[in-house]
Chain A
Amino acid sequence: MTNPLLMKESALFDYLLRLGDDRLVLGHRLSEWCGHAPILEEDIALANIALDCVGHASMLLKLAGQVEGRRRTEDDLAYFREAIAFRNVKLVEQPNGDFARTIARQFLFDAYSLPLYEELASSSHPVLAAISAKILKEVRYHWRHSSEWVCRLGDGTQESHARMQSALDELWTFTAELFESDDIESLLHKAGVVPLGSSLKPRWDELLRRVLSTATLTVPTANQFMLGGSRQGRHSEHLGHILSEMQILARSYPGASW
């Protein structure tokens, strides 16, 4: 029996949802800081990064809709899918927590996004390559921001150091699935469309090691229990809550515009 997901179009659709949903959920999470960040500059910075992420999601989900060929727009995909149909990793849906936790989440995810979009920028799929080159430029800015904060908090006061370290330790369990591979990914990889998740890991390790040593922080232990399965729609309880908030307007007033 042929697994329908092994067909290239539907594989690409699923993969684009992974990319787009990651950035959509992360962008929405970051936007929750708007008006609440510890200092004004940071409020603006987080809102800016949130805006970039939602912009990335919009390009990626638009392409996903085109690849799917069922006339679904980026808005349809963002607002009218259930949690189980979302393909983002659990890391990005985790609540903001304190500022250190938000920065740790961003830092771990930026360090993954850098090698990912570097690779995707030379994808054999021309539109995905163009979008990725665009995203990469902004991801570099985000990485600079998050890694500078990791250094400042890690190498700051005793309190900020402790909070930064515990934020990294707590989020560590969500990091393994960033590099998980499956049939969809290998199929697309063989066609030169996407990199293998596992191939991004050495670069991620190196980026982390470099910054964490400057920040006087410790790379969390590798032998922790690691969660997986997000790419197949298995999420933490937090995704449903964030989606209900994000989707309520579009679902209560379909087609609303202002």
Chain B
Amino acid sequence: MQILEGVKDPEVPVLSVVELGVVRNVAFEKEQVVIQITPTYSGCPALKVMQDEIVSALKENGFPDVRVDIVYAPAWTTDWIGDAAREKLRRYGIAPPQANAADEIVNISSGSRPVPCPMCNSLDTQVQSQFGSTACKALHLCRSCKQPFEHFKVF
């Protein structure tokens, strides 16, 4: 687990694959380390990179025989990102996901809670687009400090 803490999400490099909730299980099958990971978003191109980095991190630390399995259930949710990791995100300038991904109702207007600005904490912010530079983030604008920022979407 400690070794895996050193493997960062290539797109959000402040979080490790463990903090992100991507690593689901670590087990030994005889000499082989078997690690289960789950994709964040289905199309996330970072998954392959994480897979490769997990293998090479373990190799460097004396575990030459590693297998990484991809599992789909239960489906990944931002609820698995802990409080410490959320704080890291905020300090990095990405607004963390709010508490619960309580399956958002299929609504016409998104009319959800305002996302606090990670720079000045103002709640006077607006969504620019539900889709950002990576699949997991949305674009927001803070009307107080006039800064655009990214929000790690509740999912």
By a beta-carbon cutoff of 8 Å, the part of chain A in contact with chain B is 41-42, 44-45, 48-56, 58-59, 114, 126-127, 129-131, 133-135, 137-138, 140-141, 143-145, 147-148, 151, 207, 210-211, 214
CB pair A55–B41 under 8 Å, yes or no, is yes
Bound: A141/B39 CA distance, A: 17
B57-89 vs A, CB cutoff 8 Å, 1 = contact: the mask equals: 000000000000001111110000000000000
Contacts of B71 in A (CB 8 A): 130
CB pair B135–A52 under 8 Å, yes or no, is yes
Chain B residue nearest to A53 in the complex (CB): B43
Bound: A253/B72 CA distance, A: 32
Chain B CB within 10 Å, residue with most, of A51, A127, A211: A51
Contacts of B108 in A (CB 8 A): 147-148, 151, 210-211, 214
Q: How far is the CB of A197 from chain B (nearest CB, A)?
A: 20
Partner of B131 from A48, A53, A131, A214 at Cβ < 8 Å: A48
- The dominant DSSP class at the A interface is helix
B88-123 vs A, CB cutoff 8 Å, 1 = contact: the mask equals: 000000000000000110111110000000000000
Q: How far is the CB of A169 from chain B (nearest CB, A)?
A: 21
Bound: A126/B131 CA distance, A: 31
Q: Which residues B19-39 have CB closer than 8 A to chain A? A: 39
Contacts of B2 in A (CB 8 A): none
Q: How far is the CB of B30 from chain A (nearest CB, A)?
A: 25
CB pair B131–A41 under 8 Å, yes or no, is yes
